[in-house]
Amino acid sequence: MAGSGSGGGSAEQRSPGSGSSRVSMAAAVVAEAPVLWRRLLDYLPRGRPALAALFGRLSDRLTRGRERRARRSSWLLLAPLLSPTIPQLTAPPCCLCPEGSHRFQWIRNLVPEFGIASSHVKVLSSPTEFYELMKGQIKTAKRRVVLASLYLGTGPLEKELVDCIEVALERSLQGCGPSNLRVSILLDYTRGSRGRKNSRTMLLPLLQRFPEQVRVSLFHTPNLRGLLRLLIPERFNETIGLQHIKVYLFDDNVILSGANLSDSYFTNRQDRYVLLQDSPEIADFFTELVDAVGDVSLQLQQDDTVQVMDGMVHPYQGDKTAYCEAANRRVMEVINSARTRQELLHTQTFHSNHAEGGIPLSKDPKAAADRQPEPDTWIYPLIQMRPFGIQIDEIVTETLLLEAERGASVHLTTGYFNLTQAYMDLILGTRANYQILLASPEVNGFFGAKGVAGAIPAAYVYIERQFFSQVCSLGQQERIRLQEYSRRAWTFHAKGLWLYLAGSSLPCLTLIGSPNFGYRSVHRDLEAQVAIVTENKALQQQFHQEQEQLYLRSSMVSASTFEQSSRYVQLWVKMVTPLIKNFF
């Protein structure tokens, strides 16, 4: 089963128009780099010179500081992606160049960069606020409603959400001429089909009544096929791979979150949520991304059957390599075309605002008022789809961890603490301070579950204790701290990262979206999050308060934590966890 989890990695990322000469030039960038970095280049998807250039940039910095690095402590070699440490950064926090470039601008070599005003960003704090906002946004939507989630629940709150969509569609038909409102819903096939009453049965009435306006796509991982698909029972088959992206979009407003469309996520399951208002370019990108994944998914029909789109390879009956390559092309087309559009827009905006010598082209007050405000916040969509050979989120996250300098502070949170080995080694081997927030057993989503699933919280305790032991054995307790979230009658599902640069009390970057930083997020599932970089103090304060509110409900982990009765882990769980940890 472990093999099936990474079997889709043969698909390559291709960049339209990338020739062999460009790849060769990118390879030359790291030709003089240390052996470890040259090995990394071999693992990069072919036809992605930007990724090679990124590693070339890092290797250049490594090479220049070789003599100083030789004197550094040898324990830094723990990190498999880490040649000895990079020279310490001296740039001031989020320093801006004349063109508005910031220290994280290298991310735009991989994905589109969307510059917006910070006033368009709002941080939500509670499940109720998230739910009420979604209902209100659906009711007022005129052109599009796009919902991407793992699944849609079957309770009264979920029914109310579906009713809001129905009302919006009914209203759209009352006008003159054809309706402009389109509804696109992307869910996971296995999770959305679980049980007799499920996500599919919840959405069938919409599909039957508004067949021209509603599309329901069900992603089926290509790694669940053949005998494996026949033998693994319902629920357990979800461990092989899922559609895990969470994006909720209404006209030009976008909510990025880790929350699913289920009652607990609307009431007492803590997550994170960011609203991007009046952001048409970002909304267009995520609409196109959901459409792309929808195109390679199974299409729900009015009789509750599913079909592939015309001309598309079947995800589990067709050739796996052909399917993954087709999916890669479809998704990368969205990423690359958006990146090209944004680069062109950036160039046009810059030249329209500046004449030769930096003097504005127009001094007309009306023209100046009509012009969009200069962006002080940048949004980078980070996509991770290892089954299709797309590893952008993984590369960006590892690079952020690698480049976090001494004195910087990284707050990282996940509802399921099961970091990849690469992430763990980077945290242990770099110089920044880390505060990692995770779920105590009582707020784990599997706490009290029946059968084998009931042992999952204990497995997470075992993984947590192993990592804590590593931290202690390296004498890193002051630099790396674990904290457990606890809240009576609530569960914890928040995930993300806040980066505080050295000398700053406010974060200038946050990651928010669906990834849990674990093995399945990196290798098995389809994931998406955004990196939000801002120089605006008010927005930085919003992110800081969000982080503080989450961490306020936590307690510090120490050796005595694992002596509590609630942290007891049975022997069979300890024996099985190393064998199954790559599946949860």
CATH code for position 127: 3.30.870.10
In a domain, 407, yes or no: yes
**Domain boundary pick from 301, 320, 339:** 320
411 and 460, same structural domain?
Answer: yes
107 and 48, same structural domain?
Answer: no
The catalytic residue among 102, 244, 495, 544 is: 244
- Is 376 an annotated catalytic residue? no
Q: What φ, ψ does residue 145 adopt, rounded to 5°?
A: -130, 120
- Is 197 an annotated catalytic residue? no
Give the residue from 67, 72, 90 showing the smallest Cα distance to 82.
72
The catalytic residue among 60, 163, 251, 304 is: 251
In a domain, 362, yes or no: no
87 and 8, same structural domain?
Answer: no
Answer yes or no: are the C-beta atoms of 524 and 375 closer than 8 Å: no
In a domain, 361, yes or no: no
Tokens matching residue 306: 């599913």
285 and 409, same structural domain?
Answer: no
561 and 493, same structural domain?
Answer: yes
129 and 100, same structural domain?
Answer: no
273 and 412, same structural domain?
Answer: no
Q: pTM score, two decimals?
A: 0.82
In a domain, 358, yes or no: no
In a domain, 85, yes or no: yes
Q: What φ, ψ does residue 558 adopt, rounded to 5°?
A: -135, 180
d(CA 352, CA 360): 8
Q: How many structural domains are present in the chain?
A: 3
308 and 162, same structural domain?
Answer: yes
**Domain boundary pick from 28, 55, 77:** 77
210 and 134, same structural domain?
Answer: yes
The catalytic residue among 102, 120, 220, 246 is: 246
Please state, in angstroms and as integers, the Cα–Cα distance from residue 555 to each residue in 258, 270, 316, 485, 563, following that order. Answer: 23, 16, 45, 7, 15
- Radius of gyration of the chain, Cα coordinates, nearest whole angstrom: 24
Residue 405 lies in domain: 78-115+377-583
pLDDT tens digits in sequence order for the chain, 584 residues long: 434 333 344 333 443 344 443 334 333 333 333 444 444 444 455 445 445 445 544 544 444 444 344 333 333 333 333 333 333 333 344 544 434 447 899 999 999 999 999 999 999 999 999 999 999 999 999 999 999 999 999 999 999 999 999 999 999 988 766 678 999 999 999 999 999 999 999 999 999 999 999 999 999 999 999 999 999 999 899 999 999 999 999 999 999 999 999 999 999 999 999 999 999 999 999 999 999 999 999 999 999 999 999 999 999 999 999 999 999 999 999 999 999 999 998 787 766 665 545 545 445 555 555 556 789 999 999 999 999 999 999 999 999 999 998 999 999 999 999 999 999 999 999 999 999 999 999 998 777 676 677 788 899 999 999 999 999 999 999 999 999 999 999 999 999 999 999 999 999 999 999 999 999 999 999 999 999 999 999 999 999 999 999 999 999 999 999 999 889 999 999 999 988 888 87
Q: Which helix (H) or strand (E) holds 370?
A: helix 365-370
d(CA 459, CA 468): 14
494 and 440, same structural domain?
Answer: yes
426 and 387, same structural domain?
Answer: yes
What single letter denotes the amino acid at residue 479? Answer: R
* Burial annotation 151-168 (CB, 10 A radius, 16+ → b, else e): bbbbeebbeebbebbbeb
182 and 148, same structural domain?
Answer: yes
Give the residue from 7, 185, 123, 242 showing the smallest Cα distance to 530.
123
Q: Tokens 């291709």 sit at which residue?
A: 14
- Is 244 an annotated catalytic residue? yes
